[in-house]
Structure 1
């Protein structure tokens, strides 16, 4: 006979089970809008998974995407608690769900031209599109033409192109109201790119580059883009479009870095609205005084990057010096005089960077009076103690400082660098009089420091340990340093790039722990470290695989042990890799390919 007590227990258990069941199922009593609000708290990868649970959740998930206005291809995704390499198929799933809400889309090389019809169909409200290209052809061109025609809201397009052929005329299909076109070419083997019959074609960098037939501008024209404000073209022969560029008065931003032209006469004088001009490493043939009119005509110019052009600033009319009042960045070759420096100091109050490559000490000292100056680079210029004292006393807003290698700056002046409290990037490589006391003072006072280069300096372990107090430090170069040991690197946190080549006291133990302690590490140079072996590479891959972010790690090495590690990995490879080996060694490159590790040559 069952006792009353047992009956009560079983009844209570039954009630409890029913309660738990109802409690666990409570979420399904929510309406779809409420469920969607919950799903919107999840990352994109989890939202895609949620729709596979049941039909109700699938309906609710359709309402959980309107908050996604920007999507950028990352390196990896997390699915079922496992990190995987991102694929185009996954990106397509994302676009199916949130494409209609997207304003900005940034694709990577994992996506080819076959994704363009999907973008055209599902991303009608897109304002900004950025993507990379490595393959071309008529079929691919048709896909882009169709997509550009349908993306009527598009205002900004950025294209990164690798390879030999690009159907340039596809850009004629962009909306006429587009504001920005940015084209970044990176041809294989460093050939140049030229406009030829509507195709950008690879040509070796020889004198033959300038002997090809003229190109009809009808294949690509800027005329229809009446609201074009920003234009970037890198590594192209722009002869047949330079006239249109020079007359595009709506331009505010123009970047023609590493472009070339034939004997085509033009000026920038009509670009009165121009604020940013980059013609670094541009080859303009037989065009004298190309920039002379800019300084007299362009009243809004803020940034000029033309280090290969010598400009005689004495030709600037006195009444036009006022046009320089907005200048922030001035990178040209120029000769200093007392009058010119006086005008620069008087009229260029906003100047943050100015080229000082050909200036003597007296002129440089005068320029330190520019109160907003925050970038000084003496890499190819000698510097003396008097200049250093002027910089420390006058340039209170300095953020970036590069000293020449093998400089003779006194130890006491290095100590005073700690007064530069806003410094973010400091290059003191091969400064043999730099000592512990200066490094300790810099570490104590320069709390904003993000990038530090003290390659081959006379620092002891005490000085290195002090650097662990720099909480914002992201890039550190300590190459060829005999006193760098494991007990220093294991204490570093937040590092993204570490250059420790030739630090022979470092071992696997220290480097492995350093990698584990710095989950945002992107680059590590361990070349010529005799005590660092393949154990570091194997441990690095495991550590990177277990990261919760999507950061890849590139390791540079020339060690034969790394080659052995690659061969070993090729036998056991069962999943995606998140590690790349940076090398110029053909044997190591082959071993990396067999192991499926990425190669960054």
Structure 2
């Protein structure tokens, strides 16, 4: 059991005693990679893969295959990562054999070299995929496959697909995966702009519970002539992504036509989704132009709020926020547009507090504000520029 896998297989062939001992020494192998790094070429041969998996395949939980490896001896693997750089007529069997034989697979990532044309997925035993949580593939997902994925893979949470590997109507069908929260949609040079636009609209209008989204241009850098790049017209289609109000992470890798207005639209949408967070107690929205009265006046239940350099909030919005947040104990308004009216409003609102919570209000001092005499014992004004906001 202390020997590496190739040596275990080698000694198995030496004599009957070693063979007998070797047959017992495989259960410790739970995670294995065929290929990658510096390997003897014969260790990548399908025959070697078959022989090795016949010994420890029943114990594996994580498997990584590189190049042209092929086997169906994988009954209980949960995690599969395959990178195929070489293509021949037998290659499609790699994916299909795995998906049709593994009964416990949760994570499946099958990556093709960009020069390989995407074949169709052909799965017979869909019941094997009931526990599938991640599917990453450049195999073509046709309409029938999309229907099956929606029917059988209800636990699918993460999907990694490429534009030429998916039919547009199939993408629409996949939006019915209710538990999906992570999507990686990539494409290469040559994609029709209307195809990309339709994909963005599909994702934005129907996959509204996504938390993690990556849209990337995977065109090889060598294909781009920097000296002859034509200027991109900014696209407003990305504004549609503002409909994804549960979004926590957005990656728009190499998207040169992604414009500032789309970022602003998405950020503003994300701000409004914060309003529904019932247990939110601390919030920092300083230096964000999208913070307006419409947002600030709807916040509730906060204990600490920082709005430094928020130029688009007024006294009316801030006073309403103070009424909504009776437990507010720290409010930072440095370099905002609030006036003495907010200070007066804070004084009047906190006078009625019965929770024994003191509000510390930090603001830029002014001649008018310095003359204010407060009545509330639950309000402490902290004028200045460098006081700690809490």
- CA deviation string 1:460-508 (max 9, x = no partner): 5533332232122121112444422445423325432112357957343
Q: Is 1:392 equivalent to 2:99 in the alignment?
A: yes
In structure 2, the partner of 1:426 is 135
Question: Partner residue of 2:64?
Answer: 355
1:312 is displaced (CA, Å) by 4.3
1:484 and 1:506 in contact (8 A); partners too:
no
In structure 1, the gaps of 5 or more residues are: 1-292, 297-309, 554-562, 577-601
2:31 alignment counterpart: 329
Cα 1:434–1:470, aligned 2, differ >3 Å: closer, same or farther?
closer
1:330-352, CA deviations, whole angstroms, 9 ceiling, x for partnerless residues? 24756167578435414542212
Maintained 8 Å contact 1:468/1:492? yes
Decide whether the 8 Å contact of 1:421 with 1:446 is kept in 2.
yes
The structure-2 alpha-carbon separation of the partners of 1:408 and 1:460, relative to structure 1 and needing over 3 Å to count, comes to closer
**TM-aligned CA distance change 1:438 to 1:542, over 3 Å:** same
Q: Distance in 2 between matches of 1:416 and 1:532?
A: 43
State the match for 1:571 in structure 2: 309
Distance 1:453 1:415 in 2: 18
| Number of equivalenced pairs | 249
Is 1:498 matched up with 2:213? yes
Match of 1:514 in 2: 244
RMSD between aligned residues: 4.2
Task: For 2:282 and 2:31, locate their aligned partners in 1 and report how far apart those are by CA, in whole Å.
Answer: 33
Answer whether contact 2:100 2:123 (CA < 8 A) is retained: no
The 5 A counterparts of 1:254-403 are 294-295=2-3, 312-314=7-9, 317-318=18-19, 319-331=21-33, 335=43, 338=47, 341-342=50-51, 344-357=53-66, 360-361=68-69, 364-365=70-71, 368-382=72-86, 384-403=91-110
8 A Cα contact 1:421 1:447, kept in partner: yes
On the 8 A contact 1:399/1:422 being kept in 2, the answer is yes
Distance in 2 (alpha carbons) for counterparts of 1:373 and 1:525: 31
Secondary structure, counterpart of 2:130 in structure 1: coil
If asked which structure has higher relative contact order (CA below 8 Å, sep 6+), I would say 2
1:514-593 mapped onto 2 (5 Å cutoff): 514-515=244-245, 518=246, 521-526=247-252, 528=255, 529-530=258-259, 532-544=262-274, 546-548=276-278, 571-572=309-310
So what's the TM-score if we normalise by structure 1? 0.35
- CA 487–387 in structure 1, closer or farther in 2 if over 3 Å, else same: closer
TM-score by length of 2: 0.51
Contact 2:50 2:73 survives alignment (8 Å): no
The separation in 1 between residues aligned to 2:282 and 2:177, in whole angstroms, is: 24
- Rate the CA distance shift 1:539–1:552 in 2: closer, same or farther, 3 A: farther
Q: 2:172 aligns with which of 465, 469, 477?
A: 465
Q: Where does residue 59 of structure 1 map in the other structure? A: none
Deviation at 1:401, TM superposition (A): 1.9
Note the alpha carbon deviations across 1:146-195, whole angstroms, 9 max, x for none: xxxxxxxxxxxxxxxxxxxxxxxxxxxxxxxxxxxxxxxxxxxxxxxxxx
State how far apart, in whole Å, the 2-side matches of 1:395 and 1:462 are.
Answer: 28
Aligned to 1:379, the other structure's residue is in SS state strand
Contact 1:434–1:457, Cα closer than 8 Å, also in 2: no
Shift of residue 452 of structure 1?
0.4
Describe the SS at the equivalent of 1:454: strand
